[in-house]
């Protein structure tokens, strides 16, 4: 496993290895979306990752619809995250904040008003609320006049993340959330500058990426995309040219990393509609490429040797193996995770994996 243990520079961040902890919502915040003390402990336990990508963090109340997830729009939340980043740094680690606006999948009981999206569409399935799973509501299309405010909120969230001690940020532009709702054509029916042509559909992603890069430096900004299949009802009829254009645009801005979340067609958590496109898209991005989904250690090493990507992010393995890179180095067996405690509150299945 030599490649995985090679260092890698991710913009401003020097990673001692290429095992990245994938972003994972774990629902251990307060009902006011403030990080808790056990979150500091959890992340510090995982400090041996090349870099930790935090769970998705809401940029605004409007954009956050997951019970006990956290935000980064007020002073209390920033102070809570400060305790997390301090604990990770004290343990010798690095951590970046994944910034999140969920768009149409925010239930009004969580976001305080009708959800917003590119167009007046309704996600399939059920929203997560404090009252349990509730049918999704139809979204309200964002008015052109509201878009600068959304971009400003991302910009402020990036500044807040740096003030909270994060080493950088990642824009959550994947998995069917707001940016992805604009990007892919299944649910973007706009006829203005943010809909229709591929150029128009990547405009929101490009403007947000530029704004956060202007604020904190492109060398501290990364983006996560999910090109190869449907997520939460969002898909594209012709993803390769769309994502090629997106990657070229992000390269021009000079971001520090791109992460592709691509489940294989036999994926165990999400399935791709086609095999991962990383190999096809690689040439369109000039910068470090992170691969994700369903990677075993052996397959990750192989992908790095073949040059498909520069690092691999692991989700579930990091839940139940806090010292994952060390375990691999020592050839110790891996502990399986327990799905029942992914989003439960409290320590069980969270900080109690040895
Ligand atoms: C409990 C859990 C929470 C997740 N939360 C997020 C999230 O907040 N943001 C995100 O981009 N992906 C999220 N994901 C997806 C993971 O980042 C990753 O793509 C997925 O687990 C596949 O990687 P793996 O096969 O290594 O587990 C989550 C996955 C799990 C299991």
Write the DSSP string, 17-50: SSEEEPP-----S-TTS---HHHHHHHHHTTTSS
Q: Is the dihedral of CA 295, 298, 301, 304 positive or negative?
A: negative
Ligand 1 centre from 86 Cα, in Å? 23
Q: What is the pLDDT of residue 354?
A: 84
Residue 259 alpha carbon to ligand 1 centre in Å: 12
Output the CA angle 60-65-69, nearest 5 degrees: 80
CA distance 107 to 139: 9
**pLDDT value at position 332?**
95
pTM for the model stands at: 0.98
| Probe residue for ligand 1, chosen from 21, 23, 278 as the CB with the greatest number of ligand atoms within 8 Å | 23
Q: Cα(192) to centroid of ligand 1, in Å? A: 33
**How far does residue 345's CA lie from ligand 1's centre (Å)?**
17
Q: State the closest ligand 1 atom to the C-alpha of 56, by its place in the atom list counted from 1.
A: 8
Output the pLDDT for position 1.
72
For residue 45 the two structure tokens come to 């336990």
Residues with a catalytic annotation lie at 177
Where are the extended beta strands (E) located within 77-191? Answer: 95-100, 116-117, 126-129, 132-135, 140-141, 168-172
Pick from 18, 19, 25 the residue to mutate for probing ligand 1's pocket: most ligand atoms within 8 Å of its CB: 25
User: Nearest C-alpha to atom 3 of ligand 1 is from which residue?
Assistant: 24
Pick the atom of ligand 1 nearest to 292's CA: 23
Which residues, judged by CB distance below 6 Å to any ligand atom, belong to the binding site of ligand 1?
22-25, 55-56, 98, 172, 174-175, 224, 261, 269, 292-295, 314-316, 342
Alpha helices in 217-277 (DSSP H): 239-253
The Å distance, Cα 160 to ligand 1 centre, comes to: 23
Query: Please, are residues 139 and 147 in contact by the beta-carbon 8 Å criterion?
Result: no
The CA distances from residue 308 to 89, 103, 180, 187, 312, in Å, are: 30, 31, 23, 30, 10
Q: How far is the CA of 141 from the centre of ligand 1 (A)?
A: 27
Nearest CA to 280 among 328, 227, 331, 234?
A: 227
The Cα–Cα gap between 283 and 57 comes to 30
Ligand 1: which residue has its CA nearest to atom 21?
315
Element (H, E) at 311: strand 311-314
Ligand 1 atom, smallest distance to 342 CA = 1
The string of DSSP codes covering 46-96 is TTTSSEEEEEEEESSSTT--STT--B-SSHHHHHHHHHHHHHHHHTT--EE
Nearest CA to ligand 1 atom 11: 23
Token match 């409290």: residue? 346
> In this structure, which residue's CA is closest to atom 18 in ligand 1?
315
Question: Which residues of the chain fall below pLDDT 70?
Answer: none
């Amino acid at each position: 496993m030599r490649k995985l243990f090679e260092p890698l520079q991710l913009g401003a961040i020097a990673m001692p290895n290429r095992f990245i902890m994938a972003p994972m919502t774990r629902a251990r915040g307060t009902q006011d979306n403030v990080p808790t003390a056990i979150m500091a402990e959890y992340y510090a336990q995982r400090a041996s990752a090349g870099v930790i990508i935090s769970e998705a963090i809401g940029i605004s109340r409007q954009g956050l619809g997951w019970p006990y997830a956290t935000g980064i729009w007020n002073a209390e939340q920033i102070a809570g995250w400060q305790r997390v980043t301090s604990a990770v740094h004290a343990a010798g680690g690095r951590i970046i904040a994944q910034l999140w606006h969920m768009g149409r999948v925010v239930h009004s009981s969580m976001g305080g008003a009708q959800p917003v999206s590119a167009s007046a569409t309704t996600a399939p399935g059920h929203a997560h609320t404090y009252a349990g799973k509730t049918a999704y509501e139809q979204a309200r299309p964002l008015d052109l006049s509201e878009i600068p405010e959304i971009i400003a909120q991302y910009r402020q969230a990036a500044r807040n993340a740096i003030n909270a001690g994060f080493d950088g940020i990642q824009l959550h532009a994947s998995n069917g959330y707001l940016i992805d709702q604009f990007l892919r054509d299944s649910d973007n029916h706009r006829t203005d500058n943010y809909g229709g042509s591929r150029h128009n559909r990547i405009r929101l992603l490009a403007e947000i990426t530029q704004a956060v890069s202007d604020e904190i430096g492109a060398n501290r900004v990364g983006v996560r995309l999910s090109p190869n299949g449907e997520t939460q009802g969002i898909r594209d009829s012709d993803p390769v040219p769309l994502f090629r254009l997106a990657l070229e645009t992000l390269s021009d801005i000079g971001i520090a990393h791109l992460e592709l979340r691509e489940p294989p067609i036999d994926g165990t958590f999400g399935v791709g509609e086609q095999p991962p496109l990383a190999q096809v898209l690689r040439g369109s991005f000039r910068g470090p490429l992170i691969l994700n989904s369903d990677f075993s250690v052996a397959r990750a090493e192989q992908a790095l040797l073949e040059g498909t990507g520069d690092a691999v992010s692991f989700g579930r393995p990091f839940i139940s193996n806090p010292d994952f890179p060390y375990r691999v180095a020592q050839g110790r067996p891996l502990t399986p995770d327990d799905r029942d405690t992914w989003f439960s509150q409290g320590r069980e299945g969270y900080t109690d994996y040895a």
